[in-house]
Amino acid sequence: MPQKPINLGIYHLPVGVSIVIPCHNAARRLPDTLANLACQQVPPAIPWEVVVVDNASTDDTSSIALAAWPKSLSVPLRVVHEPRLGAAPARSRGLTEAAYEFVSVVDDDNWVCTDWIATVAEVMSQHPEVGVCGSLSRAVCEGPVPLWFDQFNSAYAIGAWGEEPGDVTQKRAALWSAGLTIRKTAWEQLQQKGFQPLLAGRKKKDLTCGDDSEICYALRLSGWRWWYEPRLRFQHYLPASRLNWQYLRRLHRGFGASSIVLDLYAEALKSELLPASGRWIKNAWAREVYYVTRRLTEFGFKLIHAWFSPCEGNADVLTIENQYGRWRALMRMRVSYPAIAASVHNAPWRNSKR
């Protein structure tokens, strides 16, 4: 299929693609990821680069990255360092360092399709209103796949996010983080308006996430569009250590914790782009505690049974973990919640796209 012509005259940044790979102790995973990237089939007119963000690694991530990139390839690979541990700081550093307008954030265990660069350049150039573009993923599992995996694989950002390519701005759920492409102009506008992420992302064994979804919501709230493109395909390598029920339970607990903040964005999007009243913000925390407590109470004995038994494959257990994660996050945010809610609903970057 012939590639559509690309409009090169509407950007203040160089039109090209920056592949940003945030890494923490990724020396074992990076060689396969970089070897896959080196096989990209890119038209000569599209410049691209690879930016590896060494996020406070204590292994040889930086040196392995430089050694693994083929010397015969004219495409540059740079290693930058981000001392603040967490997915959000690493992603922010990568976006800041990226030289090109279109920035694909690729995890160190993601193996993208060979026409990734060309497709990103085509889609993002043809749709200048799009601030963020999602992709399609397939799992590559180490060892046996659990019987419950297909039922809950969306927790691992696996599968097709939608049926057809196109604008998905009105969808409630944010695009998945893995393989997410962000328009740097949109990101810079958010930064200039004072956007500060509220979620830091995963840190070592802390599985609280949602920092990627926060960027999606913030861009949408500021006036940018979402796009889903299934031609952007990648394989997501899942080690055996992540393919167990306890990990999935912890993952859902983390989802619940981050959903407290993400729900504020969702609520802001429903409010016709008008700031929330002080009364709504003042009462929001108590209202959320009431709903979560009622939800946990509804499960009753299921909650006790789930806590003291594996219940592997039981969706109720994951729902309970999610609600428990929400409850714990609300308790930690009892004092700060009104200020956090106000920072989203009354943010200076709301509807700020020009």
pLDDT in tens, 16-49: 999 999 999 999 999 999 999 999 999 999 999 9
Q: Is residue 273 part of a domain?
A: yes
- Given a cut of 70, whether residue 12 has pLDDT beyond it is no
Q: What is the DSSP letter of 150?
A: H
CA–CA–CA angle 141, 144, 149 (5° rounding): 70
Of the pLDDT bands very low, low, confident and very high (cuts 50, 70, 90), residue 1 is: very low
220 and 299 assigned to the same domain? no
131 and 206 assigned to the same domain? yes
Pairing relation of β-strands 17-23 and 102-105? parallel
Q: Is residue 8 part of a domain?
A: no
154 and 261 assigned to the same domain? no
So what's the pLDDT on residue 270? Answer: 80
Where is 181: in which H helix or E strand?
strand 180-183
237 and 341 assigned to the same domain? no
Percent of the chain with pLDDT over 70: 87
Q: What is the DSSP letter of 8?
A: -
Of the pLDDT bands very low, low, confident and very high (cuts 50, 70, 90), residue 172 is: confident
153 and 292 assigned to the same domain? no
Q: What is the CATH number of the domain that holds 89?
A: 3.90.550.10
138 and 165 assigned to the same domain? yes
Pairing relation of β-strands 180-183 and 17-23? unpaired
Q: Is residue 3 part of a domain?
A: no
Q: Is residue 142 part of a domain?
A: yes
- Given a cut of 70, whether residue 70 has pLDDT beyond it is yes
Tally the domains of the chain.
2
Q: Is residue 249 part of a domain?
A: no
206 and 73 assigned to the same domain? yes
Residue that wins the pLDDT comparison between 294 and 121: 121
281 and 217 assigned to the same domain? no
So what's the pLDDT on residue 16? Answer: 96
So what's the pLDDT on residue 3? Answer: 38
Residue with tokens 């923490």: 24
Domain that holds residue 319: 255-345
259 and 184 assigned to the same domain? no
- Given a cut of 50, whether residue 2 has pLDDT beyond it is no
Q: Is residue 116 part of a domain?
A: yes
187: closest CA among 93, 314, 313, 303?
A: 93
92 and 221 assigned to the same domain? yes
Of the pLDDT bands very low, low, confident and very high (cuts 50, 70, 90), residue 124 is: very high
Q: Is residue 274 part of a domain?
A: yes
Residue that wins the pLDDT comparison between 339 and 273: 339
Of 82-96, 260-274, 312-326, give the lowest mean pLDDT range: 260-274
105 and 81 assigned to the same domain? yes
119 and 267 assigned to the same domain? no
Q: What is the pTM of this model?
A: 0.89
So what's the pLDDT on residue 235? Answer: 95
Residue with tokens 């040889």: 60
Q: Is residue 10 part of a domain?
A: no
Residue that wins the pLDDT comparison between 311 and 62: 62
